[in-house]
Structure 1
């Protein structure tokens, strides 16, 4: 899905979980056990906070047989209000840019057929349509085909099947990512290194936690996306079911972290450090030679700094630092800082206000190549975002934002952009 929308909905999911927890009808809370657990770093929005929690009796009928179902529709608009319209369009929002997506999730309780513990199968599919495809590729694809299973009181958790790496690591949807709207998902360093964002990749993820369940190490063996980029990966694997795509090899990801949920006495906190190593051969910008030494590292932290109502609502600070070699990655380092407030007003517990700044540096090696052809390039892109996510009614959300972007494209050097962003989202 488009990343600005995804970010906003995760924020709302956090708020809705706490806004709905005190007065939810008992019947719809029972369906939360069938929400997908495959997306490790994304908290699913409770069923009671969705449109028609009972779905006309469908959820009850499915739950009787161990199934769960949810669906989401995201509908977005982006436009540079400074009036930089052009043909061809160079960045998302330069001309009025529209996108829409439909995501469906079906889960099944595998313990009913003999699997141990809390094993759950998730099958998810996605349709995305957009009029500016470099930022939002058009896809109709399976997005999750995976089993999640835990052992030893959740001290060991396994995830195996097809899934995108962004759903398991890093926490990209926590604050600030609307600032990447002009460039799309390819502007995120872990995606440059090969982590999957759109098409799922075959993956085995092993998570080990200490007895407190706060410290963890998450390690995955997966397949890199195509070294030609996300758009080529979509073209090579339109269904999402391919085990391999041309030239893409094994990718190893490891993340060590500490994660603590908000409670009456403790603030929420999530600190993590990660590394990626990609065995795929990438073409070096300067030499033109093939290299299988692509890697990346990141540090990230998300901390609740206020608790006016004694729960997960309040102000948070989120920051990320990323690095990868500039010999093969067009954007090789970035830093992000975001402040966001979950439930900014007592009367609006499911809303969110956010301010974020992101600076992403373009590869010097790539810039030197362009300089050799006497082409001018940007050294970096800098974006500042203000956004507000509002729950209109349970299950219907409006996210509004403004992003000021310095250097919205790599080349040719372009005037700064001011992107107005709106998305109307429906959750069933």
Structure 2
């Protein structure tokens, strides 16, 4: 300390001897080297892409050639060294041209380096549009080290259960027996689904991003047309990438409703029990969680935003989901009566939310189905017709509530338009407008609120046929719904919703079934 004080005094007006002046300069150079080394070491500890300690030290020496200037700044250098040791994250800034916020990038990099769940990233299913919670957002997390032990041998897993209760609150809802129930919620309706997915990582065999995925689903409904009950496979798939991840391949028994169109509002599995209708896609043959079918999916990325995705899938039954599950409850059958090949293609543009960058997702898709459909205008003729459909959808983030923290928090809007031929499909048009918010409140940063309005238009051929039979008919069904999803704890979500439905039944109705006000409550628990 005395020597340091002596060095400082020599700068502020004292006249030391030549020997003393040399000692001061030597000490100041030593201090400069120590401080520069400490700064370099702290920077490299947090940023593996930064220069080596020797290179940083060399650069510091070249920039500071004046020994007197070094002595003048000795105190500042000592302070900087202390700051670097106590807060190394602040000394290593890497510029991200997209975000324009280097501090946030460094913070994210540091978090990745210290995240105890980062080792599970390669053990999450790839190729999905649906965001299934990560291991950190599960009830079990890594309790007892079970996940870590399995990860050490390349195995990852996610399981969850969803339990939903729906009931019409209007007093004149024409309550009936469950057997004669016409729509979900006409009587108090309960359904449950339990999933288990296991992933085996093949990257340690030299297969880029390689995975084997095996999943199962058990579901039960009090109103069977909503389900029906089943236990069977949910997915059996092989996945890998090619050409530096420009091309993705996924093959096996797939459920394409999680890989195309973006059917869930907000894209989060825990917040999407009351997602938009997708009857156009299911009647067009698209597979789902309850109806996995053999398929080959190929996704090509033109860059990190523009993509196209194609699928060659065995169609589900042209008579619908209920028939497919009834004919193939376990999901293992290679084909079912009248089903053929469905070709799907979706092209889209997507940017993920980042500081200063809003989330945007535009997509459009077509489907062509070679299955044998019944022509609704000539129902007694042999099946011979092939079906098709299309969809266009967009979602856009309008604002960022916490751009420098969690950039995905904010207000969003979107729309969906779907269409199919009226001579082969009971649902021929579908329109949806949605407004939703993620993390609207600082005290609830992972909750979601959504307001969705839809209009399902029935086939004019089916409407005219029902009218000729003397029934009360309607041409469409309009719904407006509001839902709140509360993220109660890691892996635990509660969904509460109310939906007003104008004409909740299919094409025919009675005055008592003309309207419904459905209350829904659901829990989603991930483990």
* TM-score normalised to structure 1 length: 0.90
Segments of structure 1 that go 5 or more residues without pairing to the other structure are: 1-19
Residues 1:331 and 2:432 aligned together: no
Counterpart of 2:333 in structure 1 is 242
Counterpart of 1:104 in structure 2 is 196
Q: Which of 149, 165, 177 is the equivalent residue of 1:61?
A: 149
- Compute the displacement of 1:136 (Å): 2.8
- Compute the displacement of 1:26 (Å): 2.5
- Compute the displacement of 1:174 (Å): 2.2
Secondary structure in 2 matching 1:154: coil
**Largest Rg, 1 or 2:** 2
Residues 1:26 and 2:123 aligned together: no
- Give distance in 1, aligned partners of 2:402 and 2:349: 24
Q: Which of 78, 86, 98 is the equivalent residue of 2:176?
A: 86
- Compute the displacement of 1:328 (Å): 1.0
Residues 1:356 and 2:452 aligned together: yes
- CA contact under 8 A between 1:141 and 1:199: conserved in structure 2? no
Counterpart of 1:170 in structure 2 is 261
- CA contact under 8 A between 1:174 and 1:318: conserved in structure 2? no
Q: Which string of whole-angstrom CA distances, capped at 9 and with x for unpartnered residues, describes residues 373-398 of structure 1?
A: 11222210000000000011111111
- Give distance in 2, aligned partners of 1:93 and 1:206: 39
- Compute the displacement of 1:294 (Å): 0.8
- Compute the displacement of 1:51 (Å): 0.8
Residues 1:303 and 2:396 aligned together: yes
More strand as a share of residues:
1
- Compute the displacement of 1:352 (Å): 0.4
- Give distance in 2, aligned partners of 1:110 and 1:31: 13
- Compute the displacement of 1:236 (Å): 1.5
Q: Which string of whole-angstrom CA distances, capped at 9 and with x for unpartnered residues, describes residues 90-126 of structure 1?
A: 11111111111111010001234x4521111110111
- Give distance in 1, aligned partners of 2:448 and 2:109: 17
More helix as a share of residues:
2
Instruction: After the TM superposition, list the runs of 4 or more consecutive aligned residues in structure 1 that deviate by more than 3 angstroms.
Output: 20-25, 175-181
The number of equivalent residue pairs is 402
- Give distance in 2, aligned partners of 1:188 and 1:77: 21
- CA contact under 8 A between 2:394 and 2:415: conserved in structure 1? yes
- Give distance in 2, aligned partners of 1:111 and 1:47: 20
Counterpart of 1:419 in structure 2 is 518
- CA contact under 8 A between 2:227 and 2:322: conserved in structure 1? no
Residues 1:365 and 2:461 aligned together: yes
- CA contact under 8 A between 2:122 and 2:209: conserved in structure 1? no
Residues 1:201 and 2:289 aligned together: no
Q: Which string of whole-angstrom CA distances, capped at 9 and with x for unpartnered residues, describes residues 306-344 of structure 1?
A: 112110110111210000001010111110011110001
- Give distance in 1, aligned partners of 2:500 and 2:391: 25
